Amino acid sequence: MGSVLNPPRSSPVRNAQPVALIAVGLVLVVGGFFFLADRMLLTTSFVDRVTVVNPTEYRLEIEVTGAGRSHGVQLGSVGREQTRAFESVLDQGREWIFRFASAWADGGEVRASRDQLRRDGWRVTVPSEVAVRLQAAGMPPSLVGPG
């Protein structure tokens, strides 16, 4: 029982300001994310077709990335002594880095400028050094078959 000297206290009123600030902050973060994602989609460009010529006796897995190595993509495989075109390849910028591997062995990489690739009709030929590197790593030649 309360007395005149010590009256019962009402429950404290919570300040809604921190909750509102958190909600506004969350809306800004989510909105910013969607804005940046939209900008990236609008500025992302693709190359219609990149053709890889593989004169080696190895089935190769091909990966391509830009100089910053932040937007690389796995193109796929090219069979031994075959040529394969890859459609709608993410543009890697001014410098493209093609990486080659066969099973567990690293075949190295080739760098080319966008201007050089354009002059070459977006066609890349795997250099003989890739085969030398794979052979030195103990990789046997691939069986003949589809890429």
Q: Where are the domains of the chain?
A: 14-43, 46-136
Q: What percent of the chain has pLDDT over 70?
A: 73
User: Is there a contact between 89 and 46 (Cβ–Cβ < 8 Å)?
Assistant: yes
Q: Print burial letters for 65-84: b (CB count within 10 Å at least 16), e (below 16).
A: bbeeeeebeebebbbbebeb
Query: What whole-number distance in Å separates Cα of residue 89 and Cα of residue 15?
Result: 54
Question: What average pLDDT score do residues 108-121 get?
Answer: 97
Q: What's the pLDDT score for residue 107?
A: 97
Q: What's the pLDDT score for residue 70?
A: 73
Query: What whole-number distance in Å separates Cα of residue 66 and Cα of residue 45?
Result: 13
Residue 77, token pair as written in the block: 């495989």
Q: What's the pLDDT score for residue 145?
A: 58
Q: What's the pLDDT score for residue 28?
A: 72
Q: What's the pLDDT score for residue 17?
A: 72
Q: What's the pLDDT score for residue 131?
A: 98
Sheet order of strands, 82-90 included = 82-90, 46-54, 123-125
Domain 46-136 carries which CATH code? 2.60.40
Question: What average pLDDT score do residues 25-46 get?
Answer: 65
Question: What average pLDDT score do residues 2-7 get?
Answer: 63
Band of the pLDDT at 19, cuts 50, 70, 90?
low
Query: Between the ranges 2-6, 22-26, 66-70, 71-75, where is the mean pLDDT highest?
Result: 71-75
For residue 34, give Cα distances in angstroms to 26, 30, 81.
12, 6, 45
**pLDDT at 135 exceeding the cut of 90:** yes
Beta strands 46-54 and 123-125 are parallel
Q: What's the pLDDT score for residue 144?
A: 74
**pLDDT at 122 exceeding the cut of 90:** yes
